[in-house]
Structure 1
Amino acid sequence: MTLAKALTIAGSDSGGGAGIQADLKTFQELDTFGTSVITALTAQNTLGVHGVFPQTLEAVEAQLDAVLSDIGTDAAKTGMLFSAEIITLVARKLRQYEVKRLVVDPVMIAKGGASLLQEEAVQALIKELLPQAMVITPNLPEAAKIVGCEEPQTLAEMKEAAVKLHQLGPAYIVLKGGHLPSGPAIDLVYDGHELHELETERIATKHTHGTGCTFAAAIAAELAKEAAPLEAIQTAKAFITAAITHSLAIGGGIGPTNHAAYRRLAGEA
């Protein structure tokens, strides 16, 4: 049996709800073989991030070479990259190995408010990585940081931000509307020509740790299986909606989403 292969390049979450751990769970649930490159170790749980320990450039490069020179990948996804130096290295290696289906989740701030990206790394992300991306998945605070605007508060402002993000080079923008002050959960998809609104009811739960990681990983998994980008994004939206709807009250803080929910619901249908 041969499975499509998906690579995650991200930080490790010791709490298991986000980062590398969430990505690999998502890849498995969507029938892709997952590989990983760890950019940083984090000491975190549902109560917050208690420490961030970045890997050396040598360690990150060695992992990339080991995976891509032998196993290869059909799609890749980046999450927490931490520093400008790591971003520049990852961008160069993805070009070297001609990784075409790339999903960039521009992770900047953890749910509890801890910074996961150094300030000077934002410009490296914009210049080095975004132009290589097939899909980027910023939330509203991340989009505002990237394009240098106020955080969008309305759908109209989201559309303006999506256009500005597209001008930075990615083929598809998925601007996540979870931070809108009210109304349904709307994600905007923009390919430079058409705007698509992916709308679901807003789910009343605090247990949303790892939603961004999981959503981006689901897109990467579907791209690895050669789904068209919009189709991959729509499947990922269904996956993360199921995961949030059936999220897990684990720990004393913000619990994780349920990565098995999408498959289990499909089995019940």
Structure 2
Amino acid sequence: MSGAPRVLLCAGHEPTGRAGLLADVAAVRALGGAPVAVPSAQTAQGRETFLYQPTPVRVLGSQVKAALELGPLHAVKLGQVPGPALLDALSEALDGVDAWWVVDPVVRTSRGEPLSKLTRRHYLGLAGPKVVLTPNLDEAAWLLGGGEVRSVEEAREAGRALVAHGFGAVLVKGGHRDTGAVDVLCLPERDVLLEGERLQRAPDRRGTGCRLASALAVELGRGKTPTAAARRAKSYVTRYLRTGRD
């Protein structure tokens, strides 16, 4: 496509911008996309304070419909979706839109606080040939009903099992594994290992999963293949971890 891909971002608003919707917007702009930011919730995430308030269903649905009235969407990225009613409103508003979806199954914070009432059934129900799922190791295990996913081979097996549900691709993120930063991209026809340098993350450089999924959405919206898009997204996140700049 010519011009900047227009990417709908649906995620929680975290005021510092280190994660959530503001991190998504930064990633999309850094890669030359045009972000359309729809907050699914307002969140407060400090050292001791934690709270989230879902966006009213009618408001979210209307924001998506208004965005479509102003131009086409080339990709959709889902982050925090607090509950089934909001997911239904989003799906209804986007009915008939031919665009890639990148689904980051964020149900808990890195500290374990709950962010969503969606179940694995809701996420698996989103499967489709133009839907990419981006779980980390723990999320992949949860989506498959339990157990542990720790090694590269286990990540590969988990990704294949999730692809079998009908996803166009599954990117299992291994960045928090102790032995290297290897992500596994599973496609219906093959698997691709995305190896990278393991970097020490500064405390203020959060939101890598948000940024990776949003960068992936930009590149898919630009017409790249899932493999090329995943490589570009990983390169962008590596640069962010090194420099702290989007």
TM-score category (smaller protein):
over 0.9
Is 2:169 aligned against 1:168? no
Tell me how far 1:41 sits from its aligned partner: 0.6
What amino acid maps onto 2:98 in structure 1?
V
Per-residue deviation, residues 4-58 of structure 1 (Å, max 9, x unmatched): 211101111112111110111111111111111111111124x366210001111
Write the deviation string for residues 65-116 of structure 1: whole angstroms up to 9, x where unpaired.
111132221111110011112122222332x242321111111111232111
Q: How far apart, CA to CA, are the structure 1 residues paired with 2:84 and 2:129?
A: 16
Q: TM-score, normalised by structure 1?
A: 0.85
With over 3 angstroms needed to count, the CA separation of the structure-2 counterparts of 1:18 and 1:132, relative to structure 1, is: farther
What is the alpha-carbon distance in structure 1 between the residues aligned to residue 229 and residue 98 of structure 2?
17
1:202 Cα deviation from its structure 2 partner: 1.3
Q: Write the distance in 1 (CA, Å) between the matches of 2:83 and 2:54.
A: 9
Give the fraction of aligned pairs with identical amino acids, expressed as a percent: 28
Q: How does 1:12-27 map to 2 (within 5 A)?
A: 12-27=13-28
TM-score when scaled to structure 2? 0.92
Q: Secondary structure at the match of 2:227?
A: helix
Tell me which residue corresponds to 2:12.
11
Amino acid in structure 2 at the alignment position of 1:71: G
- Which 4+ residue blocks in structure 1 deviate beyond 6 angstroms? none
Q: Does 1:155 align with 2:156?
A: no
Q: Structure 1 residues 160 and 48 mapped into 2: Cα distance closer, same or farther (>3 Å)?
A: farther
Counterpart in 1 of 2:74? Answer: 74
Are the equivalent residues in 2 in contact too, given 1:82–1:121 (CA < 8 A)? no
Q: How many residues align?
A: 244
Letter in structure 1 aligned against 2:104: D
Which residue matches 1:210? 207
SS in 1 for 2:127: helix
Matched residue SS, 1:138: coil
8 A contact 2:73–2:97 mirrored in 1: no
- Cα offsets for 1:145-200 (capped at 9, x unmatched): 111131212112111111111112210110001232x2111000011121110011
CA distance in 2, matches of 1:44, 1:108: 14
Is contact 1:106–1:142 with CA below 8 Å preserved after alignment? Answer: yes
Gaps of 5+ in 1: 248-257, 260-269
Alpha-carbon distance in structure 2 between the residues aligned to 1:171 and 1:203:
29
Contact persistence 2:54–2:82 (CA under 8 A):
yes
Matches within 5 A, 1:1-269: 2-45=3-46, 47=47, 50-94=50-94, 96-118=95-117, 120-127=118-125, 129-131=126-128, 133-180=130-177, 182-207=178-203, 208-247=205-244, 258-259=245-246
Change (3 A) 1:164 1:10: same
Kept after mapping to 2: 8 A contact 1:87/1:125: no
In structure 2, the residue matched to 1:266 is none
Distance in 2 separating the partners of 1:117 and 1:80: 7
